Chain A
Amino acid sequence: MGFLTAEEKGLVNGLWGKVNVDEVGGEALGRLLVVYPWTQRFFQSFGDLSSADAIMGNSKVKAHGKKVLNSFSDGLKNIDDLKGAFAKLSELHCDKLHVDPENFRLLGNVLVCVLAHHFGHEFNPQVQAAFQKVVAGVANALAHKYH
């Protein structure tokens, strides 16, 4: 068995196929900045982050969220080798961006909340559990090259 069971892969891909990756990306990054305001430290150049409304409507936040989630989505295509898939990005986040990997865990959980928000009952405990494995795997992969 790889990282996910066949059943879990089915649950993840089944839901992910219905996700508007661009929109969900902006939503997830926005909520990260609202719920955990210290994460704004990486985005000083993004302009107005002074309120929840300002953050959620901020075009730079939306654009960056879109970028991040498209990258996550690409990673899902290599679910059995997340460390390989995210090796370069891991180096980037350590050496150039200096992002504490704890932030990947926070974003992963916010993403789970956003999926729950969009999909309601369809995001049942089994689907959530599969996604928790995925976000933990991606967070670990992104942290893997840190030194």
Chain B
Amino acid sequence: MVLSAADKSNVKACWGKIGSHAGEYGAEALERTFCSFPTTKTYFPHFDLSHGSAQVKAHGQKVADALTQAVAHMDDLPNALSALSDLHAYKLRVDPVNFKFLSHCLLVTLACHHPAEFTPAVHASLDKFFSAVSTVLTSKYR
């Protein structure tokens, strides 16, 4: 699976529109993930996962910042995400299935907040992008 020029352009444009809301959306996507896919909570036993949790807000910002980095370096994701890839492989070891859950909830969050941007073509590009990021983050698992 390869990100086409159109995909990159769609993702950059959409992420650009999100601007400073990225952290907020990261947190919302996490909340949606924990609600819809309760097994994901097993990775956060040390977190307060209630609505409005400061820990979830902070973590959402972290996730959003990493995605912003990824958007800026779409031509070389393995390099740009190398440290995060190591972290997920050797320390966090989040089962790969969970990246699909978070990616889906990121799409849902964006669809809710940016209906005009969330056209079928942009939906497709975003899905591919999150999939590419997920692949890089799990690339060193074994």
Contacts and interface: CB of A to CB of B under 8 A. Distances in A.
Nearest to B6: A52
Contacts of A117: 111-112, 115, 118
A31 B123 contact: yes
Contacts of A109: 104
Interface residues of A, number: 23
- Scoring A112, A117, A118, A129 by chain B CB atoms within 10 A of each residue's CB, the highest score goes to A117
Interface string A86-99: 00000000000000
Given A35-B127, A129-B36, A113 B119 contact: no
Interface string A120-144: 1101011011001000000000000
Contacts, number: 60
Nearest to B28: A125
Interface of B: 28, 31-32, 35-37, 104-105, 107-109, 111-113, 115, 118-121, 123-124, 127
29 contacts: A31-B120, A34-B120, A34-B123, A35-B123, A35-B127, A52-B121, A56-B120, A109-B104, A112-B104, A113-B104, A113-B107, A113-B108, A113-B123, A114-B111, A116-B108, A116-B112, A117-B112, A117-B115, A119-B112, A120-B113, A120-B115, A121-B112, A125-B28, A125-B31, A125-B32, A125-B35, A128-B105, A129-B32, A129-B35
